[in-house]
Amino acid sequence: MNLLRRHPIALALIALVLLSALVPLPPLVDAANGAAPADVDLVRPTLYTLLAPVSNVLDALTFLSRERATAFLVTWVAALALWGLLQRGSLRRRLVSAALGPLAVILLGVGAVLLPRPVPRLVPADSTLTVIDYHAHTALSHDGRRGWTIADLAAWHAAQGFGASYVTDHNVVFDGGVDTLIRLLPGVEWSVYDQHIVALGTMAPIDRAVYGRDTRAMLGLFAALHRQGAIGLASLSEYWRQHWGDLDALRRTTCWSWARATITGGAR
């Protein structure tokens, strides 16, 4: 009982981890039907599994937007500082407790950004299948990793089991022609009228001002891409910013994108 009284949070987390093992979730889910795919598996390195509690938290932090990551850090720093100040003991001990918690959270955030760590790898069940990422950035994008080159992007994808990837930097058309570890495909992410339109395939640069007047003009971009032989995807469902009155037109015209990877058969 004394141990439970001294470490309630740690013991509660251990109990939750053990409880979650009784109803495990599939490591991969098909975005179309919510079921586990039969043609690919997620293989975790041994070190990743051993560090799973830390790895999972770092992975979650990595995928947060800058605003959400900042909110996460501020909330937890403030909460842990307050929790430390409310502990029993001398003022010095409470101040130390109030400093250690926030410091741990800040170090966790730094580790999520800077520390290399093992990552799971996608492994198709059939060697004729190719795993493709259709939304990837280099340092040319504001939300790309700083200093991230085409070669870095290719190496990162190869390490995680991808056989090909579209390069879709913001408003910068990638036309291919680069010799890398995997096949890099042409693409771009157009920012038009508060929408992010991922275009896949070979295309010419566009005048974004033509498509930025209103929702109808923005939807014309999909037709323009189609005429060039490219595919347009609305990569983020930001309809609430400009398009509340045009949701029906938006649904009829656009193809919404919820997953970041797909698996295709046939020769590369």
Tens-digit pLDDT profile for residues 89-135: 888 889 998 999 999 988 877 877 777 778 888 888 888 889 999 99
Please tell me the predicted confidence (pLDDT) of residue 121: 87
Q: Where are the domains of the chain?
A: 2-114, 126-264
For residue 267, what pLDDT is reported?
37
**What confidence score (pLDDT) does residue 82 get?**
93
The domain made up of 126-264 is a member of CATH 3.20.20.140: yes
What pLDDT was estimated at residue 256?
52
Reported as a single tens digit per residue, the pLDDT across 15-28 is 887 887 788 778 78
Predicted local confidence at residue 77, as pLDDT: 92
**Ranges of the chain whose pLDDT falls below 50:** 257-261, 263-268
Q: What is the pLDDT of residue 49?
A: 82
CA–CA gap between residue 8 and residue 27 (Å, rounded)? 29
Cβ proximity of 154 and 184 under 8 Å? yes
pLDDT of residue 265: 46
